[in-house]
Amino acid sequence: MKKVLLVTDGVFHPPLLAVWGLHRTLEAVDGLTFKHVRSLESLPFDLVDYAAVVLYFHHKTISERALERLENFVSRGGGVLGVHSATASFKQEPRYFTILGGRFTGHGAVEDFEVRHCGDEGVFSIGQAFKIYDELYFHEMSPDIQVQYVTVQEGQEVPLVWTFAYGAGRVCYAMPGHTVRSMRHPAVQEILQTGLKWVSGV
């Protein structure tokens, strides 16, 4: 069994019910066991026993020690699954966004929008478009990411899910997560489970 560290926190953003929903969704993945902490400041000194960490929170600051532990973990082969507001946290830390492959720059209204598959890596199997009700995030992104899912706004594709290699590690970011409704969508749940399996090597 591989070990995963769930770093999740939130009452309103992200919603507590969505946080609980994420836990239930990911804990259904076979071959993984989970430990929960509420902050990257609580990362174990030695993450060598963990296959991946999941980031779902909206925090403003991070210590140099915690950032260095995360960076070392991923660069040496650990996996990261970032969810929704993970990319809107720690806005003053460029190294953090280098790890995730993208930096939050703004968001649209909470509304219905279509999710389309566009990846060609064979990581995700959901090819049929579906709709979710969520808050659309916009990002500055690394040129090295592999975009897996997009939506279209004003004729432009907006990346929603991407995969990324950071050193020897694997990173996946999934934008849905502002609303409980989207976190309960079967397609979103499958994407999150698949992303976790990919980054943890299950």
Domains of the chain (ranges, CATH numbers)? 2-200 (3.40.50.880)
pLDDT of residue 121: 66
> Among all chains, which residue has been given the structure tokens 């770093």?
7
pLDDT of residue 60: 94
pLDDT of residue 43: 87
pLDDT of residue 174: 98
Local mean pLDDT, 10-residue blocks, the chain (202 residues): 95 93 97 96 87 97 95 96 97 95 94 90 84 96 94 93 96 97 96 97 91
What is the Cα–Cα distance from 169 to 137, expressed in whole angstroms? 24
What is the Cα–Cα distance from 54 to 74, expressed in whole angstroms? 12
What is the Cα–Cα distance from 54 to 26, expressed in whole angstroms? 10
Name the pTM for this structure. 0.96
pLDDT of residue 22: 97
